[in-house]
Every structure is written in C-alpha cells, then in structure tokens.
C-alpha cells in the first residue's frame, strides 16, 4: 500500500506545470488566437500560413508512419491469418458505426428542424459558390475511389499521400518480408529502426503545434468572425451537442463493453483533441494517436491497419454532419422530405462519404455529391452553410479522430489481442502521468 502511494506521489511530482505541457501550450495558443482574431481580424487572417505549414509538416511524415508500422508489424507477426481477421472485423465495425451516425444525423435534423425558419429561395442563392465543390464531387466516383487504392507505382502512393494506397503497399511489403523467413530479419530490423526515427521526427514537429494551432484558429476567427455564427447558430449548436452526446452516450457504451471509460480515454488523448479542434483537420493527430494506441497495448500491425483505414471508412463525424446538413438544406429551402427521400439520402451518403476521401473539404464535397443525386433538394442550398463550414469541420474532424481511436481499442479487445484489465491498467497509468505518453513507442 505504501509503495503504491509513494509511486503515485512520485508520479505527481514529475508532472509538468500546465503551461509546460503540449496540450496546455496549444490551449494557450488557441486562446491568444481568439483574442487576436476578435481585436485585429486582418492581422489574424494573415496568420493562416502558420497553421497550413504545421499541417504540412505532420502530413509529410504520415505515410512513412503508416508504412513502417504496418509493414514491420505484419512482418513480425506469427500468424498471417490474423491480418485478414482483424481487417474483416474492422470493416464490419466501420460500416455499422457510419450507418448509425448517418441515421442519427438524419433523425436529429428531422426532430429539431434547424432550417425550418429560413424560408430561403433557391433561385436567389449564390450557386456559383458551390460550383467548384460540385465539380470535385463529379470528378471522383466510387469506382475511381476503389481503383485509386492501387497506385500506379510505389512512389506514387507516397507522392499522392493517399492513405489507402500506402496501406495497400505496406500490407504487400509486410507479407513479402514475412514470406522470406529468417532472410527477412535484416529488412525487419531496418524497418524498426526507421520507425524509431520517424517517430522522433514527429516528436520534433509536435513542438510547433501551439504555433500551428494559433495560426489556424486566428485565421478562422479573423476571417469569419464570431458574429457569422448568429444566423446558423441553431444548426451549429445542434451538430456540436449531438456530437457530444454521440461521444458520451454512444462511444461511452461501446467503450464500457470493451472495458474502459470513455472519459479516461478523452483525458488520455487531450493533446490530439485540442490539436484537431484548432486545426479543423484530423490528419495531424494521426501519428501521435497511433503512437498512444500502441502504448496502451495494441500491436503495430493492428494500429497500422485499423486506425488509418478508419480515417477513410469510419468518418462518423462526417456522416453525422452529412445527415444533419442535408436535412437542414431541405428545410431551409422549404423542400418536403418523404420517408423515401430519407432512405435515399442514407443510401447515397453511405457511398459518397467514401468516394470523396482524399479531397480537400471531403465531407462538404460528399454532401454536395449526395444532394446532386436527389433533384428535389437544391444543391444551391449548400451556399447557406458554406460560410460557417469551418466551425462545423472543427467538430466533425474531432469526432472522426475520437471514433477511430475507440474503434482501434474495441477491435483489439474483440480480437483478444488486448484484455480489458490490461487496457484499464495501462490507460489509468498513462493518464495519471506515471508514464511519458509522448515518448516514442518501443519496437
């Protein structure tokens, strides 16, 4: 008992002050950005390159992180069948989760009716504002999406930054190294060393996260202004509240079944949450999220397969947004929706949210593509929410990241790779500060 108390006291003593932690510095950067954006909007808008530069720094190494973790993980596994089993379970989970998110979005929109008081005339809306998004929506079909999983060359997969293409190449390389047996040991050692180096690079880049968060948030507040939220406050509030309930109730129940607390998990990945909220993008959080999932006890192969693949197949936040926003546009333009319309919206959105992956503003483009298939809902109505989409993208990006973190842990427990007691113990230890959660994982 005394040893336990002493250990906890020592851990508490090692904790850094709030302002010295990464998430504390990011929060301070966000707070300063809001003040600058409100007081000097022109100056704040000019800060955008800081956020864009940080996102580029992180996305620059994402493909290397994925390749190293998947290839090394598969090459080091004893059972090749496990990869297929995990992949199958992941796809089942992803399809169920995204379907539920779409249904919730549609149902909440129908019940709360956030667009009922708009009475917007579709003919008077600026259709040109949505034209560029419509063009991108037409340019990427489901068939194109599936074909682009296979890159034209190995270099092309990394050059395009296509996560699914990199996963595909990584799995093939992992299997190939594994088939070499003892002859592949030297290659595996190289991959493990490269993994350590890549995570070292990520640690260096993450030191600039507060600056990146400041630049991105300053631009958002300076460019759009808090006053722009007024006319669409009900829609934005509905999305944020629904997303919060989705996390606390939906993910909370799933987490409880898997043997861990969703609140503790949220505390564990607080740095990633603050980072995604401020940057309105979940991509920069992927490397550190994968690293933290490994430290909880998940294998490199499982994390490398499930987490990045989930970014494509399990964007629950985007699906919830699409369902709610589609109903909002219909209500705002006085377009009545029948049960057939709701079913059609669900079926089309279930496909388009995958087809627009890899395109800037993917969720907005996927929603435009969905409405283009349903003639009764004017696509021009999307111009109503274009100006505040940045504020909603903060919410959906964060929910996407959270859902994929939970999905990885759930599938690890489901596959008996990680038992519930060990997961709870690791999560409690790492959250309490008894270990360095930002250190590179052991390989």
CATH number for 414: 1.10.3860.10
CA–CA dist 284, 250 (Å, integer): 25
Most confident region among 169-173, 226-230, 349-353 by mean pLDDT: 169-173
pLDDT in tens, 76-95: 776 677 777 888 899 999 99
Place of tokens 């494509």: 312
Q: Which of residues 199 and 135 earns the better pLDDT score?
A: 199
pLDDT of amino acid 97: 94
In a domain, 134, yes or no: yes
pLDDT exceeds cutoff 60 at 306: yes
Of 205-209, 217-221, 264-268, 433-437, the one with minimum mean pLDDT is 433-437
Percent of the chain whose predicted confidence (pLDDT) is above 70? 82
In a domain, 26, yes or no: no
In a domain, 137, yes or no: yes
In a domain, 148, yes or no: no
Indicate the pLDDT class of residue 411, thresholds 50, 70 and 90: very high
Whole-model pTM: value is: 0.82
CA–CA dist 254, 411 (Å, integer): 11
Place of tokens 């270099």: 155
pLDDT in tens, 307-319: 888 888 888 999 9
CB 423 within 8 A of CB 297: yes
In a domain, 12, yes or no: no
Q: How many domains does the chain have?
A: 1
* 161 φψ region: left (φ > 0), alpha (ψ -120 to 50), beta (else): left
pLDDT in tens, 254-286: 999 999 999 999 999 998 998 888 888 888 888
Indicate the pLDDT class of residue 2, thresholds 50, 70 and 90: very low
In a domain, 301, yes or no: yes
Give the side-chain half-sphere CA count within 13 A for 251: 28
In a domain, 95, yes or no: yes
pLDDT of amino acid 132: 58
Q: At what angle do helices 362-373 and 128-139 cross, to 10 degrees?
A: 90
CA–CA dist 83, 63 (Å, integer): 20
CB 130 within 8 A of CB 386: yes
CB 278 within 8 A of CB 213: yes
418-422, long-range: CB < 8 A, 24+ apart: 418/296, 418/297, 418/298, 419/259, 420/258, 420/259, 420/260, 421/259, 422/297
Tell the burial category of 143 from Cβ atoms under 10 Å away from its Cβ (0-12, 13-18, 19+). exposed
Indicate the pLDDT class of residue 347, thresholds 50, 70 and 90: confident
List the beta strands (DSSP E) in 250-374.
none
pLDDT of amino acid 8: 46
Indicate the pLDDT class of residue 3, thresholds 50, 70 and 90: very low
Pick from 157, 213, 93, 136: nearest CA to 372: 136
pLDDT of amino acid 78: 63
CA–CA dist 384, 133 (Å, integer): 14
pLDDT of amino acid 100: 95
Residue 106: its H or E element: helix 81-112
Task: State the average pLDDT over residues 420-432.
Answer: 89
Q: Which of residues 302 and 226 earns the better pLDDT score?
A: 302
pLDDT exceeds cutoff 90 at 232: no
Task: State the average pLDDT over residues 375-403.
Answer: 83
In a domain, 412, yes or no: yes
Structural domain boundaries enclosing 242: 81-143+226-432
């Amino acid at each position: 008992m005394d040893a336990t108390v002493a250990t906890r006291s020592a851990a508490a003593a090692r904790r850094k002050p709030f302002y010295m932690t990464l998430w504390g510095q990011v929060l301070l950067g966000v707070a300063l950005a809001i003040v600058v954006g409100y007081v000097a909007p022109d100056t704040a808008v000019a800060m955008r390159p800081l956020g864009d530069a940080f996102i580029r720094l992180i996305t620059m190494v994402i493909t290397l992180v994925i390749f190293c973790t998947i290839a090394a993980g598969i090459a080091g596994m004893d059972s090749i069948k496990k990869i297929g089993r995990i992949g199958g379970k992941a796809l089942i989970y992803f399809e169920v989760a995204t379907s539920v998110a779409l249904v919730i979005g549609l149902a909440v929109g129908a019940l709360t009716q956030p667009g009922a008081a708009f009475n917007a005339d579709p003919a008077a809306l600026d259709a040109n504002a949505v034209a560029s998004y419509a063009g991108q929506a037409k340019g990427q079909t489901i068939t194109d999406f599936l074909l682009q999983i296979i890159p034209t060359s190995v270099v092309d997969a990394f050059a395009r930054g296509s996560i699914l293409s990199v996963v595909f190449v990584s799995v093939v390389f992992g299997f190939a190294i594994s088939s070499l047996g003892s002859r592949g040991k030297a290659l595996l050692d190289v991959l493990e060393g490269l993994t350590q180096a890549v995570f070292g690079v990520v640690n260096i880049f993450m030191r600039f996260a507060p600056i990146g968060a400041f630049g991105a948030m300053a631009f958002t507040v300076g460019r759009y202004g808090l006053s722009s939220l007024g006319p669409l406050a009900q829609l934005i509030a509905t999305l944020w509240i629904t997303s919060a309930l989705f996390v606390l109730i939906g993910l909370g129940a799933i987490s409880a079944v898997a043997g861990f607390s969703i609140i503790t998990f949220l505390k564990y990945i607080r740095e990633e949450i603050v980072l995604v909220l401020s940057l309105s993008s979940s991509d920069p959080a992927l490397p550190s999220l994968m690293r933290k999932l490994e430290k909880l006890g998940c294998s490199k192969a499982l994390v490398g397969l499930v987490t990045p693949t989930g970014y494509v197949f399990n964007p629950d936040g985007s699906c919830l947004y699409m369902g709610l926003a589609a109903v909002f546009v219909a209500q705002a333009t006085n377009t009545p929706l029948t049960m057939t319309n709701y079913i059609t919206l669900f079926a089309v959105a279930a496909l388009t949210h995958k087809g627009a992956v890899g395109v800037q503003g993917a969720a907005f483009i996927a929603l435009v593509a969905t409405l283009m298939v349903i003639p009764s809902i004017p696509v021009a109505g999307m111009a109503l929410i274009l100006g505040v989409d940045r504020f909603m993208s903060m919410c959906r990006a964060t929910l996407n990241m959270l859902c994929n973190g939970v999905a990885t842990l759930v599938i690890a427990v489901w596959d008996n790779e990680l038992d519930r007691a060990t997961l709870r113990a690791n999560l409690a230890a790492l959250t309490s500060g008894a270990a360095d959660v930002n250190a590179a994982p052991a390989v």
